[in-house]
Amino acid sequence: MFRQVILYSFIFFTTLLWGCEPASEVNDKIMAEVGIKKLYLSEVSAVIPYDLGPVDSAVMADDYIRKWVSQELMLQKAEENLPEDLKNVNKELEEYRNSLIIFRYKNELMSQRMNTNVSDAETMEYYLQNAENFKLNNIIVKAVTIKMPVDFANPENLKKLCSDTTEEGIAGLKEYCTQYAKTYEFLTDRWVELDRIMNNIPVTIENPAEYLKKNEFIEFTDQNLYHLIAIHDYLLKNEQAPEEYVRENIKSLILNRRKIEFLRDLENNIYQEGVNKNIFKIYNLEKNENE
């Protein structure tokens, strides 16, 4: 059966995806049947990207058909064996529908009405008010990383260039790296985790915190390359995280707090609108029982 499906898939998707009009409801081809349930070619073709070739389309169609058959067989078995009370999912479907509609309504209102701009002044204010919550989990650095072919490497001269933080010095180092380095990266204007940099150099430092206190450079030479990391600044684990390092995280926190406040106000406003318009009633159960 499935060999026929693959063949049909190949033929039909070749014609559909490469120039022919989609099948109409009247002459839509049946691709699979399970009991009285039928899977039509139009349903399968709807999930196949138009930029796939005929062979890939046929393979994807065959996989979709197999999964559809498997699901329908399982559903059929469940329908046959589950008691009626367990097959009644009307309440669950209604609850899911209600939750989904409310979720979409809230998201639509947020996209239309909620301010999603967070200024640098707001992030700084939040940072200063919650500074104790922003401690570093890892060592972070500002640095320059260079991989230089051994034949062109002059470690002492390169270190000297890396230590010159004037505009002329930085320009000279960039020019030198452009000419001779295999790869290089200037990370002197932002904080990055030391581990991220160390992943690119074949050397391990047992105690990086102590090493950084005593050394400005991390270097290693293998058969082909001279690896150099010039540390311009560093902060250790558990030290205060710089505001610029956690800025994006703070913006997310501010937006999340803003979202919570927006949704809370929305629910309160809708409830108050119901009160003002007298469009709901809440009955006192004890009072009704006594009447």
With a pLDDT cut of 70, the percent of the chain lying above it is 88
Domain 136-235 has CATH 3.10.50: yes
**Closest of 228, 179, 176 to residue 202, by C-alpha:** 228
Q: pLDDT for 179-214, tens place per residue?
A: 999 999 999 999 999 999 998 888 889 999 999 999
- Asked whether the predicted pLDDT for residue 253 surpasses 60, the reply is yes
**Residue range 121-166, pLDDT digits in tens:** 999 999 999 999 999 999 999 999 999 999 888 899 999 999 998 8
CA 28 to centroid of chain Cα atoms: 39
Render 216-276 in DSSP notation, one character per residue. Answer: SEEEEE-SSEEEEEEEEEEE-TTSBPPTTTSHHHHHHHHHHHHHHHHHHHHHHHHHHHHHH
Residue 1 pLDDT exceeds 60 = no
Q: Return the domain boundaries, the chain.
A: 2-84, 136-235
CA atoms within 13 A on the CB side of 130: 15
At 56-99, the pLDDT tens digits run: 888 999 999 999 999 999 999 999 999 998 989 999 999 999 99
pLDDT at 238: 96
19: phi > 0 → left, psi -120 to 50 → alpha, else beta; which?
left
Instruction: Judge whether residue 283 has pLDDT over 60.
Output: yes
pTM over 0.85: no
- Residue 107: in which H helix or E strand, if any? helix 90-113
pLDDT score of 66: 95
Question: What's the pLDDT band for 289 if we cut at 50, 70, 90?
Answer: low
Indicate if the pLDDT at residue 264 is higher than 70.
yes
pLDDT of residue 60: 92
pLDDT of residue 181: 93
Q: Among residues 238, 218, 221, which one has the least CA distance to residue 229?
A: 218
- For the cut 50, the answer to whether the pLDDT of residue 23 exceeds it is no
Instruction: Give the pLDDT of residue 19.
Output: 45
- Whether the per-residue pLDDT at 221 is higher than 60: the answer is yes
178 has pLDDT over 50: yes
What is the overall mean pLDDT for the chain?
Answer: 88
pLDDT band with cut points at 50, 70 and 90 for residue 288: low
Residue 208: phi, psi to the nearest 5? -60, -35
One-letter amino acid for residue 85 of the chain? D
Model pLDDT, residue 258: 96
φ/ψ (deg, to 5) at 97 = -60, -45
